[in-house]
Amino acid sequence: MEELATLEDAGAFLERHGDAPVLVFKHSTRCPISASALRRVEAWLAGKGDDAPPAARVLVVERRAVSNFLSERLDVPHASPQALICRRSRPVWHASHNRITAEALDDALSKEPLPGI
C-alpha cells in the first residue's frame, strides 16, 4: 500500500486512477481493532494479486491533516479504522471496524460513485 503523507499525496492518489476503483485505508497505529482490520485488508489485497485495486494507507494519528482532508473531500465522516473505495475521486463505499471484510470489499469494487457527491 502506498503511504499518503501529505494533502498533495492524497489528492493525487484519488485523481490519477481515473475510472478505476481505488482503496484508501485509514489506520490508527494505537488501536488493536485497526491492526486487525489492516491485516484483513492486506490479506484481501494479496489474494487479489494483479486484480487488486491501487491501495493507499493513511496513519490517522501521525497524519491527522491528511485524514481530515480525505473526510472533507469525500464527504464521509471520519472513522478509524476505515476503508473507502473510490472511483473518479468520489466514494462508492466505506466501512469501519469489523465491517471491513473481504466480502464487503469485493462487493464494493463493482459499485459506482454515490449520487450527489
pLDDT in tens, 36-85: 999 999 999 999 999 999 999 999 999 999 999 999 999 999 999 999 99
Quick one: which of 57, 53, 116, 62 has its CA closest to 86? 53
The pTM of this model reads 0.92
Q: The domain that contains 27 carries what CATH number? A: 3.40.30.10
Asked if pLDDT for residue 114 goes beyond 80, the answer is: no
Residue 33, domain extent: 2-108
Q: State the total domains in the chain.
A: 1
Q: What is the pLDDT of residue 4?
A: 98
* Dihedral sign (CA 69, 55, 27, 91): positive
In a domain, 116, yes or no: no
Share of the chain above pLDDT 70, in %: 96
Q: What is the pLDDT of residue 111?
A: 76
